Chains A and B, each alone.
Chain A
Amino acid sequence: MSASAISCQELTRRFDHHLALDSLCLEVPEHSVFGFLGPNGAGKTTTIKILAGLIRPTAGKAYVAGQRVSPDDIAARRAVGYLPEEPAFYGWMTGREYLIYAGRLLGLGAGAHGRADELLQLVDLAEAGARRVGGYSRGMRQRLGIASALVGRPPVLLLDEPTSALDPLGRRDVLALIERLSGDTTVFLSTHILADVDRICDRVAVISRGRLLAEADQETLRARFAAPAFEIELAPAPGPAADLLKTLAAQPWAASVEPVDNTLRVMATDTDSARRALPVLLAPLGEQLLRYEQVRPTLEDIFARLVEQSEEETL
């Protein structure tokens, strides 16, 4: 593994009686696109705010690009580009003016103008750059936010739910932009949209109730945590699907059976038993059976399993 761009050591944050982060330990390799996954309220935004130097941890330490992070110390903030979930701008400024302002705060001086133009091109806002930000759409604001986070060419980019408020087109544009950045910059991306992580992230960490549940590259996660899954597609008719669902749910090797339209998704605890039993159970369906296959477990399967396990342990 390469050197860490971000390191969290026993990071803990308490808000009155609520434990938002519970001894989080995390190493984010340089130049990776790192997905930080968790349900709402899991502690994702708290972690990102600590890394951005906006709030203090109650205990533990965080390092970005080798610099200790603290609201009192600006050194680490030079290494970070930060995009909050809903980036806020001065509506009276133009997009270009905002990027120049951001550049000047980073000490770019006269070079801020050229950098602003370069970034407006990168985020496809070259034409809109002369317009006031107050008139921008959400997607445009998000792209401007990414541009402003990139102004100082930071080695680490912290993106808090960058696509959650966007429509499909805006989401596609922002994901394409993040993909273009990978390789040059370490991208730390918090989200609960699993498809985004599936598409662009090299490594993934899953967090719930402030605790790290798992951290690895996607393939390792699938191999380690995902139960084998089978999909059974039936011809549209109510009777057989309902009967089959009951039969499958009663099998000792079936962890869960989820109906989605005419398809049953079966999660198995024992692949071999499932492989042996399923053809026998499906044979009586005859022409009712349209498709039966073992499928690659999705990140959603892993996520759901980890979070459910964590919640069961908490209870």
Chain B
Amino acid sequence: MRALLAKEWLELVRSRRLLVLCVVLLFFGILSPLTARYMGDIFAMMSESMQGIVIQLPEPSIHEAIVQYLANFSENYPLAIILVAMACIVAERERGTLAMVLARPVIRWQIVLSKYLALLGMLLIALALGGLGALYYSIILFGGPAFVDFLLLNLAGALYLSVILALTVLASTLARSTVAAGALSLGFWLTLSLVGSLPGLRGWLPPALVTQAAELGLGSRPDVWQAALVALTFIGVALAGACLALQRQEL
């Protein structure tokens, strides 16, 4: 298992996927407080040049910065995760490298778990960088949020993204091509978002973690445990499904 994990990590570094994800998340992390602070000024300048049009935006505040930052967790970040993780298993099966590994004394669930853990490590590092960028500019521009609140916000958001990652690994195991894995991952994500917005399910499915993360960032302490437990169950079921699917596959 250690050998598999070390290989996965080295591949993420050498293929520059770690670097790309860090740059993307840092960019969006920094952009969020900047957008919240200067969007009003940009629109004001635009309204001056377009006579008769008046654009009214709320007064820039830390609330706006957090809303902007959290929008990434439900829009840009899942997409970035799907793009970097969708090939993780299917591409190895297509190229034939998986058969070379599985002809050795390796248990198939170890493949799934090592890929998920390495990708999760990459996600957490990129998220930490993006979060630090967002926190730094939020403090400079708005004087907040409190570090603990921001940390809790990111932990809740990271748990939601971990679900997306697990579903992407499952899609990569089930699909017969990388493109199909990407499409299936998008399908999982969109379905989860859609079902998570249904009345009655809204409070406890994984997408609720993003809403609850906003409250955590603003100093409230909502009850996140229900959604967190469901998210962990989703991760467990998705990974177990991936292990089972790989176990049944012939190479």
Contact = CB atoms under 8 A, between A and B. Distances in A.
Contacts of B51: none
A14 to B, nearest CB: 12
A148 B7 contact: no
Contacts of B15: 92
A148 B14 contact: no
Nearest to B108: A71
B247 to A, nearest CB: 7
B100 interface: yes
A88 B7 CA distance: 15
Nearest to B251: A54
Interface stretch (A97-105, A164-172, A258-266): A97-105
Contacts of B108: 71
A80 interface: yes
Nearest to A54: B251
Contact of B97 (A54, A56, A77, A89): A89
B107 interface: yes
Nearest to A80: B103
A74 interface: yes
B99 interface: yes
B101 A105 contact: yes
Interface string B133-174: 000000000000000000000000000000000000000000
Interface in A57-77: 71-72, 74-75, 77
Given A54-B250, A55-B251, A105-B4, A88 B95 contact: yes
Interface string B1-45: 011101100110011000000000000000000000000000000
A116 B6 CA distance: 17
A87 to B, nearest CB: 7
B107 A88 contact: no
A84 interface: yes
Of B3, B6, B102, B250, most buried by chain A (CB within 10 Å of CB) is B3
B99 A101 contact: no
Interface size bucket, B side? 20 to 34
Contacts of B102: 53-54, 71
A77 B105 contact: yes
A52 B103 contact: yes
B46 interface: no
A86 B97 CA distance: 10
A106 interface: yes
A131 interface: no
Contacts of A152: 104
Interface in A98-149: 101-102, 104-107, 148
Contacts of B104: 77, 102, 105-106, 152
A82 interface: yes
Given A74-B105, A84-B100, A102-B104, A92 B4 contact: no
B96 interface: yes
B11 A55 contact: no
A54 B99 contact: yes
25 contacts: A49-B250, A53-B102, A54-B251, A71-B102, A71-B247, A72-B247, A74-B105, A75-B105, A77-B106, A78-B105, A84-B96, A87-B100, A90-B11, A90-B97, A92-B14, A92-B15, A93-B10, A101-B3, A104-B6, A105-B3, A105-B105, A106-B104, A107-B105, A148-B100, A152-B104
Interface of A: 49, 52-56, 71-72, 74-75, 77-78, 80, 82, 84, 86-90, 92-93, 101-102, 104-107, 148, 152
